[in-house]
A and B are shown apart, each in its own frame.
Chain A
């Protein structure tokens, strides 16, 4: 495939053959000579002072490497936004499963018993487990007031709208924690050499996050820390910040013993000890006119950040900015906060705050529709953002997005109107009820506001001796197609064949910092830089007289070979520059929040079985405008996978907490959908282009996470005429609503 037609085609996945033959190398597939295995001794209490550590009998302790906080060469901290999270707890613990000390041994089978044999005594302190307990300040567990971060967004004059409202609609909506459940557990291998420094190989999304964390922890200069990403078996945000912690642990053990150390979690440790999606609570109070127009409202958005700050301010930020969704709010006040509790810190998970606030909003829109007396379709149409209008942060919609038309198309694809009528009729009898529900939403791609400018992402493309070009980015592949799409972009930009472009392994010794692989920014932001850098290669060849204005792929390769022969391998660079006319006010939280929004309408059709109170999703339509589809198979795969996780988030995945610890940390009792549980997920795209994205692409990785929960719960309410404002929504919850406790033995059913 040459030149035009690479972008937009479903070219073979760059690392696909390795994946289907079992040759792809994940961290646990790698051994180093003389390697030891590491394990972590963790807190069994939610909060307290460490009083005494005893190494129990029956273990040959002299064979073990032991690392405590005292062994940390640099700062005992996992450097991220704040410096509050220790790498190893020293005097106090603030959550169950907090790491306290590390062990290593050459026989990995000896470690679990050794871990169990370390007994730790604590002077326990009162712990806080819910947002409400945290807010009450009955116990201060973090900072001055348990609050990691707050935001205030104000637009217009919210205090004046209540007196002219025809309706005031209120609601409170909650979402629970969700485990990313990548099928490959977290793992790292570290190796230390006094001259070279630290090298880590692992399952990770952001090599430079790990790099930065290890520099501070080990007190090493930038060129003495090397981070290499291995094939990564799923991430979804769960390997955005957490890998810094496990890398730090492996590094400390390696430094202590001078031998390579591998730490690979088993499923239970990974589930109970690592990050999960932030639980949330959103309160809406909305002033609505008689004809169903939003006059304005107050939105109070709170997330539970767990015990340390980690990424909570950023999750909160995205949730805050998305809280108003795809609608026009002439007046709004959004108050947001992230609070501390004594559970393992919550972290990044696909969607990153937006699934939480959008769940609330889209449920609330259905409520507003009921109060006003119009349909869920109508209420949305009357309030959709239109080109030229501003969002809640006063960002003007500058593209010709027609949400009414998008909604109409989704309704058509899902046969919404006919089904809604049919279900209403058929639901009068029988042992099941059917319903259909909508969610309309948007998702901003790239870092918020000045984030991309602050990142200053750097990308390089290299001309190689064999005439191929090589892309050098710190953006990682973990299933979403990074390697494939970035190579497509370079190939198409240069008029080369897809096979002529390669991409380097994400190794901080090799690749520049193009920013983390998060926020749906890779194709859009990094891709555009890859395009620039690629064109820079061509520029160089042309300026050297080796390439004419038009050329074949073979001529390009020949020119490249010549250039390398004479001057060696050469690189072209591109650094992110923020568009000049884009402004963002970090204090007022106002302005251009994102370079681009993707827009979507999702429709879920459900059956509620009144014998078992379980919900099955029978059909799911996912329609989204994404700028441009660069790879149809990959794009469709992203949406289908995201919808599947969204269905899990809504109907299956519940974290059961007790004293701050997850009780169901096994695949047998933390329930994700199997192939027997999911509906046909029907995916459709529209393309309006995007001047800020490579080939017009917008980010799409996280968008699919925002729609399923509200669409499904809206459908369940349509089926049962009962309100549910909290997810996950399990059969037991539906049962409790349909069969209240005063009638324990009544036949379950809808009156």
Chain B
């Protein structure tokens, strides 16, 4: 444990209103901490500069899931366990349910939050490709009120987001129109649990007589931000799935990503595995029955 607790301040207001007021009073002076599964690791490693922190753990306004006919609204303070245990998430948003199950071990799932995963903005974050695939919309909150940002616009660069210094993510909104899609999610890590992903994919699509429709291919760990492969999606739309398409999709996908060599893996491996995963997804799309 390489930090001194005496160097840090932590307060835990009991309402969202109190938190955003604090953030507004001194923008940038308070670091929000939810479940702590990222922040506390940095802290223990001596990598978190001494500062003031505000706990947003278990705020009731943030830790709820609401279902209405057209959409589901997931509070940013929901833990991965909350997601896994929610019937609508399991049934209609399997990419997200899968991602929540990948995240290291039950104990970390009980504490890590969806909002924390988004704001920490690691390119390897497990839930982010799913949010891209579902075209999530974020509701951000501050004393100035709420604003909505399409999730796809939220990340502006490596670990940089559109979140203002006095803002929190309040809700993640997902449209309930994907239960008919074939869903494919896969994480490639160094082991079957407790692994940071080398490559991570969340994909959706439909196959009709004319070919591929409404396809979404989102990836993590292959660029500074989570990525939807717009070119590859465009390329395969409306086409029948055959070996030519698979080869073309692979080539296009590799051109869209920017994998690197790092402590976990190599750029070459990531690139080829991405191609393999996309091929596996398209195969699944080709052979799967329509799921209502």
A adjacent to B, CB under 8 Å: yes
Instruction: Give the interface of A toward B (CB within 8 A).
Output: 109-110, 112-113, 116, 266, 268, 431, 610-614, 652, 656, 663-664, 666, 668-669, 671, 673-677, 730-732, 735-736, 739, 741, 744-748
Which of A112, A663, A747 meets B275, CB within 8 Å?
Answer: A747
State A741–B272 Cα separation when bound (angstroms): 11
Which of B6, B193, B272 meets A744, CB within 8 Å?
Answer: B272
Contact B273 A109 (CB under 8 A): no
Measured CB to CB, the closest approach of chain B to A368, in angstroms, equals 32
Contact B280 A744 (CB under 8 A): no
Which of B41, B188, B271, B272 has the most CB atoms of chain A within a 10 A radius of its CB?
B272
State A110–B5 Cα separation when bound (angstroms): 10
* Nearest A residue (CB) for B268: A744
Q: Top 6 nearest A-B pairs by Cβ distance?
A: A676-B192, A109-B4, A112-B2, A676-B193, A611-B276, A671-B190
Decide yes or no: A612 and B188 within 8 Å by CB, A109-B5, A656-B263, A745-B251 being known contacts. yes
A266-B2, A669-B263, A736-B268 known; 6 new pairs, CB 8 Å cut-off, are A109-B3, A268-B45, A675-B193, A677-B191, A739-B268, A744-B271
Cβ-based interface call for B175 (8 A)? no
Residues of chain A lying within 8 A (CB to CB) of residue B269: 613, 731-732, 735-736
Decide yes or no: A677 and B193 within 8 Å by CB, A112-B3, A745-B251 being known contacts. yes
Cβ-based interface call for B206 (8 A)? no
Residues of chain B lying within 8 A (CB to CB) of residue A745: 250-251, 254, 271-272, 275
Measured CB to CB, the closest approach of chain A to B171, in angstroms, equals 30
State A614–B280 Cα separation when bound (angstroms): 16
Measured CB to CB, the closest approach of chain A to B234, in angstroms, equals 19
Instruction: Give the interface of B toward A (CB within 8 A).
Output: 1-6, 41, 44-46, 105, 188, 190-196, 247, 250-251, 254, 263-266, 268-269, 271-273, 275-277, 279-280
Measured CB to CB, the closest approach of chain B to A40, in angstroms, equals 13
Interface of A is mostly: loop
Contact A668 B196 (CB under 8 A): yes
Contact B273 A110 (CB under 8 A): no
Measured CB to CB, the closest approach of chain A to B44, in angstroms, equals 8
Contact B6 A735 (CB under 8 A): no
Residues of chain B lying within 8 A (CB to CB) of residue A116: 46
* Nearest A residue (CB) for B191: A677
9 contacts between A and B (CB under 8 A): A109-B6, A112-B2, A673-B191, A674-B105, A674-B191, A676-B191, A732-B265, A736-B268, A745-B275
Residues of chain B lying within 8 A (CB to CB) of residue A266: 1-2, 44
Residues of chain B lying within 8 A (CB to CB) of residue A109: 1, 3-6
Decide yes or no: A669 and B264 within 8 Å by CB, A612-B273, A731-B269 being known contacts. yes
State A735–B194 Cα separation when bound (angstroms): 23
Residues of chain A lying within 8 A (CB to CB) of residue B275: 745, 747
Residues of chain B lying within 8 A (CB to CB) of residue A668: 41, 194, 196
Which of B41, B191, B247, B279 has the most CB atoms of chain A within a 10 A radius of its CB?
B191
Contact B265 A747 (CB under 8 A): no
Measured CB to CB, the closest approach of chain A to B185, in angstroms, equals 14
Contact B250 A677 (CB under 8 A): no
State A741–B268 Cα separation when bound (angstroms): 8
Contact A677 B188 (CB under 8 A): no
Decide yes or no: A612 and B193 within 8 Å by CB, A744-B271, A745-B254 being known contacts. no
Measured CB to CB, the closest approach of chain A to B240, in angstroms, equals 19
Residues of chain B lying within 8 A (CB to CB) of residue A112: 1-4, 46
Contact A747 B279 (CB under 8 A): yes
* Nearest A residue (CB) for B243: A747
State A671–B195 Cα separation when bound (angstroms): 8
Contact A613 B263 (CB under 8 A): no
Residues of chain B lying within 8 A (CB to CB) of residue A613: 269, 273
* Nearest A residue (CB) for B4: A109
Contact A110 B263 (CB under 8 A): no
Contact B276 A664 (CB under 8 A): no
Contact A735 B263 (CB under 8 A): no
Measured CB to CB, the closest approach of chain B to A457, in angstroms, equals 40
State A109–B45 Cα separation when bound (angstroms): 12
Measured CB to CB, the closest approach of chain A to B125, in angstroms, equals 14
Decide yes or no: A735 and B191 within 8 Å by CB, A109-B4, A109-B6, A745-B254 being known contacts. no
Contact B264 A739 (CB under 8 A): no
Residues of chain A lying within 8 A (CB to CB) of residue B264: 669
Residues of chain A lying within 8 A (CB to CB) of residue B254: 745
State A112–B7 Cα separation when bound (angstroms): 13
Which of A612, A652, A748 has the most CB atoms of chain B within a 10 A radius of its CB?
A612
State A739–B44 Cα separation when bound (angstroms): 40
